[in-house]
Amino acid sequence: MRLGFFGGSFNPPTNAHISLAKKALKTCNLDKVIFVPMGDSYKKKDLVPARHRYNMLKIICEEQEDLEVSDLEINIDKEMYAIDAFKIIENKYKLDDIYFIMGADNFVNITKWKESEILTKNYKYIVLDRESIDVDKYINDNENLKAHINQITIIKNEEYKMHSSTEFRNILKNNKTDDKNKLPCEVLEYIAINNLYKD
């Protein structure tokens, strides 16, 4: 199978995340996209507990045959780097064709990550284009990445403007009803029931 692993905080998961996952499925002929929410060991402002972010993604994926969520990172009680998660996924899905999906804002920092040389040489990426970030220029300016351009697919995000989860947390805090339709209704219901993003 051709599998795309979409890592992130998903704090909260939005319609944009779903739209981009669907676009990756279609553009790259994937059989499935698997969301991989980061665990609680990751220190980030306003990050709700991993079990809530996992549950919200699970609710979204329940009725989607080609979308799934993994608890891979949230079940490990230590700080994980991208290379750690990639190796676990690689070992677990040895018979599958694996792609790692990430936003352009993360991808342009990949050469600064732990074991970056292995990351850039050994893995295949689907990069979600983002306004103000020129991914092509970044690749052309980086010889290590340029040598492996065949392992990178850039998806232009023209049809659906990518909003950050930070914007949505502010929407929820300020109770801006008109903008809430940018979040799946099941996620909104879960957030309300569990009293998330109030502070």
Report d(CA 37, CA 174) in Å as an integer: 25
Structural domains in the chain plus CATH codes: 2-163 (3.40.50.620)
> What phi and psi, each to the nearest 5 degrees, are found at residue 197?
60, 40
Q: DSSP 3-state assignment of 137?
A: helix
Q: 10 Å Cβ neighbour count for 181?
A: 10
Sequence letter at residue 94: K
Structure tokens at 127: 């990069």
**pTM summary value:** 0.88
pLDDT by position in tens, the chain (length 199): 999 999 999 999 988 889 899 999 999 999 999 999 999 887 777 789 999 999 999 999 998 999 999 999 998 878 889 999 999 999 999 999 999 999 888 899 998 999 988 998 899 999 988 777 888 888 888 887 777 767 888 887 654 454 556 666 666 666 655 555 677 889 889 998 998 887 6
Degrees to nearest 5, angle at CA 19 with 64 and 61: 25
